[in-house]
Chain A
Amino acid sequence: MNAPGRGRILFTALMALVLTALPLPPWLDVLRPAFLVLAVLYWSVNAPRTGDIALGFFAGLMLDVFQGPVLGQHALALTLVTYIAVREHQRIRSKPAFQQALIVFGALAVYEFVLFAIDGWSGHPVTSPLRWVHTVTGALIWPLVAAILAHGSRGRA
């Protein structure tokens, strides 16, 4: 059984959401990777049938409720990222961890850029360069996230 169950994906997404909302001191908060985006990315690469673009959309909508000034902002960004990941999942999956991290960095940058653009367009600009920090930390932590999520599904299979 390779494809992990839907419940499992939802559970990890929920955990990622909790990690996203966990209160942290400001300096640590800047470094905090976008856990939910990473989880969605992982599932859309490794279980593209279950972890679908719909997962990206609804995860993004949840992020919007938590931290978006405009409803649909994170949903659009995450939909785009999920689409890229689902389309290229075979190529991404066959890459070694280092290259995967680079790809994840690119995906996070695209994600953040979409957010940045919508922020500006909708009149809530946040121009602080600190908003880009999480793309780097997200890429750095990617091998760990992938290992944790993969370990769980192997143990189950």
Chain B
Amino acid sequence: MAAFGTAAGRPLQGRGGSAGFRFALYATLAVVVMYLDQRQHYLEWVRYVLQATAYPVQLAVNSPPAAWAWIRQTFENRERLQAENARLRAGQRDLELRSLGYEALARENAELRGLRAALPPIAERWLAAEIVNIQLSSLRQRLLINRGAVNGVFKAQAVLDARGLIGQTTHVGPWSAEVILITDPEHAVPVRIERTGLRTIAVGAADATSLALPYLPANADIKSGDLLVTSGLGGVFPQGYPVARVTVVHRDAVQPLAHVRAEPLAHIDTDSEVMLVWFHADHPAAPTRAGDSLGELKSGNRSMQPQAAPPRPQAAAPEPPAAAPQPAPPRPQSAVPRKRPAEPQPAEPEAAAPQPQPDAAQPAAPQPEAAQPAVPQPDAASQSKEDQ
């Protein structure tokens, strides 16, 4: 270090003024950038560009594991491939048989719900994305995937694997996208307990492998082994996709809320590939596109904002306040769409069914209407009119 001694003799009057001046300059710049990113969301394009510049580095970091995987795949022997092929064939036959039954069921279900024609499947398009094997942040549950805006990926898109929900995209670059996992403490999924239909919110717990259900009262009907599926509220995830299985239910006599933990069904830590899903926007079970209905919202918690609840065809006229947007208190904004509602609305009738007389079931509760905005009714035309 003594070798640098001579350079230190001269005063540091370099380019752009003194160190203090330059510090003030850059610190102000950083604060302005932070403010714009946090409060105004003006900096999406800056992030986009920066993400593009970062991607080569990320790919370089990813290359040794990727090369190793490629080598292993190349030298995999014939028997193993044949065995795998046979296994996959059997699995596919199994799935085909099951899907036969599923189609009949779906049709029956559609008829029962009074829809005129059988519905198309809700997922319009799938895109497989590989997980770029880099460490984004040890403190947060994030992933980087190798698909971005050029593939049509958009912000707050649902990410699944073959077993269940993984998360949603938070920052989309041109060739890559950052995914926030459902196990991140900042993430919350609106879920429904499949056995009872009870709705609640599953938030990421502190550890990487479990979800917490903090808003269930101690007397809620939930037990270990219950399956949690997405409820379709919140505007990101469609209804009915498996999320997690309840592992721990602890009721304390003095606590008003039950302590419930659930384990995600998706194998988040072993997956190397995930699925990005596009949904039919006019499908009854599809989520409202957050970008469409919330475009005008620049601040506040997105999930707490009125999410342009499409009025039910019959309900709109007799009960106008029900469809009116619920004013939400502005909260410290997060760049990640947190979907915690103001208060959980546990007991609520099934949302997706277009009920002719929905008011009879919930006479004294105006909030449920505003709190379940994400399930568009089949009347897509009236929805778009409402948005404009």
Contacts and interface: CB of A to CB of B under 8 A. Distances in A.
Interface of A: 2-3, 14, 17-18, 20-24, 26, 29-30, 32, 46-49, 52-54, 56-57, 60-62, 64-73, 75-76, 79-80, 82-83, 86-87, 89-90, 93, 118, 121-124, 126, 128, 130-131, 146, 150, 153-154, 157
A54 B26 contact: yes
B68 interface: no
B254 to A, nearest CB: 25
Contacts of B334: 69, 122-124
B1 A76 contact: no
Contacts of B14: 49, 52
Interface of B: 1, 3-8, 12, 14, 19-20, 22-23, 26-27, 29-34, 37-38, 43, 46-47, 50-51, 53-54, 57-58, 60-61, 65, 133-140, 142, 185-186, 206, 208, 331-336
Nearest to A57: B26
A26 B137 CA distance: 11
B29 A26 contact: no
Contacts of A56: 26
B33 A72 contact: yes
16 contacts: A18-B57, A20-B135, A21-B136, A22-B61, A26-B208, A46-B4, A49-B14, A62-B54, A68-B137, A72-B32, A75-B33, A80-B23, A122-B334, A122-B335, A124-B186, A154-B3
B30 A21 contact: no
A53 B206 contact: no
A76 to B, nearest CB: 4
A117 B44 CA distance: 23
B1 A21 contact: no
Contacts of A123: 331-334
Contacts of B335: 69-70, 122
A30 B139 CA distance: 9
B50 A61 contact: yes
Given A70-B34, A79-B26, A21 B6 contact: no
Given A62-B54, A69-B336, A131-B139, A122 B22 contact: no
Contacts of B140: 67, 69, 124, 126
Given A21-B58, A57-B26, A146-B1, A73 B136 contact: no
Given A53-B22, A67-B136, 15 more contacts: A2-B3, A18-B60, A29-B135, A49-B12, A52-B22, A53-B19, A62-B54, A65-B47, A66-B137, A69-B336, A83-B22, A90-B8, A121-B332, A122-B334, A124-B336
